[in-house]
Structure 1
C-alpha cells in the first residue's frame, strides 16, 4: 500500500470545521465572541488555524517509543488512545482547550489489521477529547508514534509552573499510582484479560485508557495560575513547580488519593509509594490560594471528577509527612536516560 493510500484509508477522519465558526466577521458582537478554530485540516501541505487576538495558541509534542512508552504487543486501539491522551494531558496542564493534533508514525511494515485497529482507537479518542486530526506523516521504520497537539487559551488564563506562591494549597485530580501498579499486570492482561478481577481491571484501564481532566482544567484557570500534569510521578512533577517557582512544599502522604482498587492490589503502604512516584497518571497537580477551596471543590463536583488537597507551598524544600511524621519514599520517579 502506498503512503497516500494508507493515509486516505486509515488517517482521514471526517470533521465539520465550520461548526467552530461564530458568525460574520462584520458583526461586532460575533467578533467579540469569536473563538479559535481549524480552517483547514488534512488535504494540503499545512493545516490552517484561526486564532483571535484574545487567545493564545499552545502546543505540545510527544514521541512514544516501543518498549519505553508502550509495548507493541498491546492492542493497537489502546496504544492510539494513550498516545493522544498523553498529549491532550499537556494541554490540560496549561488550562488549554484542545484545538487539533497531528500524527507522525513510522511502521516496520503495512499490517492492515494493526492499522485498522489503531485507526479506530485514534478516531474514538479524537471524538472523546473533541480534537481533530489535521495532518502528519507516515514513513517506514521501527514503530514510533509522534503526536503534536494544539490548544487555545485566553490570554492571562494560562496555568504555568512558575506561579506557585508560599501559602498556596497543593491539589491533585483523580487517583494516583494506578497506572504504575498496573504494569505488574501486563503479562496477565495480554494472555488472559478476562481473568482480571475488578480491582485489576480498574488498574489496567487507568494504564491503557487514561482520561485527562480537560474540562476541569479549562475552568480552573479562573481560580489558579499554576499547574502541570502528572506523567513522571507526583514528587518529580511537583518538583518542577517548586523549582520554577523557587519555593518548597509540604505534602501530607495520608491525604494522597489512592483508589480502593490500588489498595486491594498492593496494600495501603505500597499504594502510597506508587502515588508519590508511580508516573503515567495524566492527572493534574496545581496550586491555589486557600480562599478558593470551596470553589475548587464545587467545580470538581460539576465536572464530575475527584480532587484532593494534599499539602501546602512553603519557603523551601520538599517535605513528606505521614500523620505529622517524616515519610521516606522507597520508589524513584521516572527519568529518561536514568532508568
Structure 2
C-alpha cells in the first residue's frame, strides 16, 4: 500500500460536530458557522492546514512523541494506543484552559499491518470525536513504531492558565483521582494476556492508564477565575514543582487530602496508594491554584461539569512541605523523568 493510499484509508475522517458552538453558554449553541471564533479553514488535502484565528483569541499548541516501550506497549490494543496518544496532547490544551481546535499526526511504522492500522484508526477517530478535535494533517513514514501528535487549541486573550501566576495563600486543587495509572503499570502482564482476568478494581486502574479523560470542559470554564494550572503527567510532586519554580514560591500539601480511589486502595493498600498519588505519572488530571475566595465557585463549577475536585494544600513562601495528619511525610517514590530512569 502506498503512503497516500494509507492516509486515505486510515486517516481521513469525516466530522459532524459543530466547531462553532458556544461552549460557554450551551443555550446559545448554534450550528451556524461563525467567523468570530477560531476555526479550521482547510484540513487534509494541501501541504498545510489553515486556521482562522480572530484577534481576540490566541492559538496554543502542544506536541508529544510516544515511543514504543516507553509510553505504550506495542502489543496493547491499537485502539487504546490511539486514544491515549491523543488524550496526552488534549490534556496539555486543558492545562492552558484552551479549547481543542485541531491536531496533526506523524507516525512511523515498521511495516504496514492492516489489522493494527484498522484498530489504531478506529481508536483515533473515536477519540477525535469525543474530544471534538479534527485531524488536519501529518506524515507517515517507515521506521520503528513512534507516534507524534501536535495539538492546536484556542483561548481568549488574558484567560490562559499559565504556570507563573500562583500567589502565596492560594489554594492548591486537583481534579479526578491520582495514582491509578501508575499503579496499573504493574498489571500490564496480566491485562495484555487477557484483560477480562482483571478484578473490578484492577480494571478501573487499567482504564485510567489506557483511556485517560482530561477535564477539558472544566478547564475551559476555569479560565474565568484567576488562577494558574498544568496537567499531571509526570507525577503530582514533580509537576507542581513547575508551578512553584515559575511562580517563585513554595507549597504545603496535606497527603491525607490527596484524592485516592477505593479501587487503588483495594489493589495496593493505602500507604502505597499515597506514594502513587504523589509521584505516579500518566494521570492527565489538572493541578491548579486559586484564591480561597473562589472555593465555592470552583466547587459549583466542578459539580456542573460532573467532575471531582479536591483541595490538597496551599501556596507558601518557599519549599515543598509534605505532611500527613500534621506530621512531616517522606515520599519513597520518585516522579518520572526521561533520561534519568
Distance 2:324 2:202 in 1: 27
Question: Contact between 2:109 and 2:141, CA under 8 Å: does it hold in 1?
Answer: yes
The verdict on how the C-alpha distance between 1:40 and 1:18 changes in structure 2, with shifts beyond 3 A counting, is farther
Could you say which residue in structure 1 is the equivalent of 2:113?
A: 111
Work out whether residues 21 and 34 of structure 1, in 8 Å CA contact, stay in contact via their aligned partners in 2.
no
The 2-side partners of 1:273 and 1:332 are apart by 9
TM-score relative to the length of structure 1: 0.96
1:140 aligned to which of 136, 139, 142: 142
Name 2:320's counterpart in structure 1: 318
Q: Say yes or no: does 1:13 pair with 2:13.
A: yes
Distance 1:281 1:247 in 2: 24
Q: CA deviation at 1:16?
A: 5.4
* Counterpart for residue 35 of structure 1: 37
- The one of 109, 120, 123 equivalent to 1:121 is 123
Work out the number of aligned pairs and report it: 332
1:295 equivalent in structure 2 = 297
Please tell me whether the aligned partners of residues 299 and 309 of structure 2 are also in contact (alpha carbons under 8 angstroms): yes
- The 2-side partners of 1:135 and 1:247 are apart by 41
Q: State how far apart, in whole Å, the 2-side matches of 1:193 and 1:150 are.
A: 34
Q: Does 1:187 align with 2:189?
A: yes
Residue 71 of structure 2 corresponds to which residue in structure 1?
69
When residues 208 and 117 of structure 1 are mapped into structure 2, their CA distance, relative to the original with a 3 A threshold, is same
Q: Hey, what does 1:275 align to over in structure 2?
A: 277
Contact 1:256 1:275 (C-alpha < 8 Å) held by counterparts = yes
CA separation of 1:73/1:181 partners in 2, compared to 1, >3 Å: closer, same or farther? Answer: same
Q: Which runs of 4+ in 1 moved over 4 A?
A: 16-19, 30-33
Match in the other structure for 2:25: none
**What residue number does 2:26 align with?**
none
Report if the CA contact (8 A) 2:15-2:129 is conserved.
no
> Residues 17 and 129 of structure 2 are in contact (CA less than 8 Å); yes or no, is this contact kept in structure 1?
no
Query: Is contact 2:110-2:144 (8 Å) kept?
Result: yes
**Aligned pair partner of 1:255 in 245, 254, 257:** 257
> For 2:113 and 2:268, how far apart are their aligned partners in 1?
38
Question: C-alpha separation between the residues in 1 aligned to 2:195 and 2:18?
Answer: 42
1:164–1:245 contact (8 Å) kept in structure 2: yes
Per-residue deviation, 1:34 = 1.1
RMSD: 1.5
Q: Distance in 2 between matches of 1:247 and 1:2?
A: 54
Distance in structure 2 (CA, Å) of the matches to 1:125 and 1:328:
38
Distance of aligned partners of 1:18 and 1:46 in 2 relative to their CA distance in 1, 3 Å threshold = farther
Q: Name the CA distance, whole Å, in 2 between partners of 1:303 and 1:19.
A: 19
| Cα separation, 1, equivalents of 2:135 and 2:333 | 37
Rounded to whole Å, the distance in 2 between the matches of 1:290 and 1:55 is 28
2-side partners of 1:31 and 1:193: how far apart? Answer: 44
Structure 2: gaps of 5 or more residues:
23-31
Which SS does the other structure have where 2:194 is aligned?
helix
Q: Is the 8 A contact 2:20 2:34 kept in 1?
A: no
C-alpha distance in structure 2 between counterparts of 1:334 and 1:96, whole Å: 25
Partner of 1:336: 338
Distance 2:246 2:325 in 1: 28
Structure 2: distance between partners of 1:264 and 1:129: 31
Question: For residues 296 and 132 of structure 2, what CA distance do their matches in structure 1 show?
Answer: 29
Are 1:20 and 1:38, in contact at CA under 8 Å, matched by a contact in 2? Answer: no
* Correspondence for 1:243: 245
